Each structure stands twice: as C-alpha cells, then as structure tokens.
Amino acid sequence: MGRSAFFVRTFGCPVKCPWCDSAGTWHKDWVPDHINRMTTEAIVAEIVEADPSMVVITGGEPTVHDLSDLARAIRNDTAATVHVETCGAFEYTRDTFDWVTLSPKWDRVPLAANIRSCSELKIIVDQEDSIDRWLSFLSLSIGSDVLELEKPIWLHPEWSQRNNPLILNKIAEMVKTHGGPLRAGWQLHKLYKVDALDDRAAKQAPLGGNPALGL
Ligand code: SF4
C-alpha cells in the first residue's frame, strides 16, 4: 500500500459559503464546461490503481449523496481508509467512514449526533468572533462543553483572511489559552498550489465565485 491520499470531490452543494474555494461545485459562473460523471466501479478502479493509504471524500457537500456503496467498495477492493469532510448537517451512518472531519457552516448547521461522533472539527475563522460563536453553538448543541469531547478542533484562517493579524492573533490567543484540543490550522495545499499544479484538477474557482477575492 502506498502512503498517498486520494481525493474524491463530489459535485453539488446546498450551501453557498462566501469563502468557498470549491465554487465550481455550485456557482453558475464557475461550473466546469464538462463534468465527468463516474460510476462507483470507475472511481474504485482509479483508486485501486493509485494504491493510496487513505481516500478522502469531499465536496461540495458529500453527505447529500448516499456514499455507502462507494465506501463499501473502497473497503472491499483496497486497503485504504475512508475519510469524509462534511458540514455535518445531514444524516449519515457513522460506520460508513473511518474518519469524519466536520467543518460546520452557519447556513446548514450540524446535527448534534454528528458533532458527537465526528473524528475532528474544523472551524473556518473568517471573523474575529468566529471561534467564540462556534464553540458556543457546538457546546449548546450537544449540551456540554465541546472542548471536553477531547477531539481535535482545527482553527483555519479563511483563505482571504490569512494575512489578517486580527484573525491570526485570535487563533493564536485561543490555542495558547486553551491548549489542546484546539489546533492552529492552515490550508497548506493552497500555499503549495497543489491543485493548480495538477493536470487532472478542475479549473480553479475564486473564493465564493468572486474573482476579487482571489483563488
Ligand atoms: S465551503 Fe464547503 S459547504 Fe460551503 S459552499 Fe463550499 S463546498 Fe459547500
């Protein structure tokens, strides 16, 4: 088994986050000219050939689709673990996935059961009060302090705010104050331009579909 990650990006998303870097999945001006519709068998054949150690299913919002057949086929035909990144607003069977990254969105807030069962949380920090608001909401949803779940809670500066000292200072302050499970995150794939350098990647869409915000 290799040690790489294989990403499957599902198309379509019922949420429209202003910071979205996958606007090609929902913004009318950035929908690709051609969408390669693939069967489960075809996706799994590509995964088998790539021989990764993990498969990450992301979107759009992957859990608006029934992923059970795809996850089962990946587990049957490969040694890779199955990860998913979701906003957590939709019901899914937790056992379908080995790892669940829940990145909450205000337009479709996560279900309490999904907050409890996810492997880690990822908060996109686009405003100074984002962290406090989300920690408060998540705690209220599950009826106890979300920090006591002791699962990683990543704090990612929203990409257009990555040089904003107010945002970065807030993340640093929260991590220094609380320690684990809070973790300062960064969208490193953007820094390294891994999508732009990949011939097979879809054409990049600007944040929120707005060219003024950059990629
Ligand atoms: S950030 Fe995620 S949930 Fe939000 S619009 Fe983009 S793909 Fe959908």
- The pLDDT tens digits for 100-158 are 999 999 999 999 999 999 999 999 999 999 999 999 999 999 999 999 999 999 999 99
Q: Which helix (H) or strand (E) holds 171?
A: helix 165-178
Task: Determine which of 32-36, 86-90, 172-176 has the lowest per-residue pLDDT on average.
Answer: 32-36
Report CA(62)–ligand 1 centroid distance (Å).
10
Residue 198 has what pLDDT?
81
pTM here is: 0.93
Q: How confident is the model at residue 67 (pLDDT cuts 50, 70, 90)?
A: very high
Q: How confident is the model at residue 200 (pLDDT cuts 50, 70, 90)?
A: confident
The residue whose CA has the least distance to atom 7 of ligand 1 is 60
What does the CA dihedral 189, 170, 137, 101 come to, rounded to 10 degrees? 20
Which residue segments constitute the domains of the chain, with CATH numbers given?
5-205 (3.20.20)
Ligand 1 atom nearest 23 alpha carbon: 6
Q: In terms of Cα–Cα distance, which of 114, 65, 66, 59 is closest to 89?
A: 114
b or e along 118-133 (b: 16 or more beta carbons within 10 Å of the residue's beta carbon)?
Answer: bebbbbbbbeeebbee
Pocket test for ligand 1, best of 56, 64, 87, 159 (most atoms within 8 A of CB): 87
- Asked whether 61 lines ligand 1 (CB < 6 A), one says yes
Contacts of the segment 31-35: beta carbons below 8 A, 24+ positions apart = 32/202, 32/203, 35/11
Ligand 1 atom nearest 25 alpha carbon: 7
> Within 13 Å and on the Cβ side, how many CA atoms surround 1?
13
The residue whose CA has the least distance to atom 4 of ligand 1 is 17
Residue 186 has what pLDDT?
95
Q: How confident is the model at residue 209 (pLDDT cuts 50, 70, 90)?
A: confident
Token pair listed for 73: 């086929």
> Within 13 Å and on the Cβ side, how many CA atoms surround 10?
22
Q: Is the pLDDT of residue 1 over 80?
A: no
Alpha-carbon distances, residue 106 vs 138, 197, 215 (angstroms): 11, 32, 22
Residue 60 has what pLDDT?
87
Strands laid side by side in the 81-86 sheet: 5-9, 54-58, 81-86, 99-102, 120-125, 153-157, 182-184
Task: Determine which of 50-54, 89-93, 104-108, 211-215 has the lowest per-residue pLDDT on average.
Answer: 211-215
Q: Is the pLDDT of residue 202 over 80?
A: no
Q: Rounded mean pLDDT of the chain?
A: 92
Residue 145 has what pLDDT?
97
Token pair listed for 183: 């973790």
Pocket test for ligand 1, best of 7, 9, 10, 17 (most atoms within 8 A of CB): 17
Q: Which helix (H) or strand (E) holds 23?
A: none
Residue 21 has what pLDDT?
81
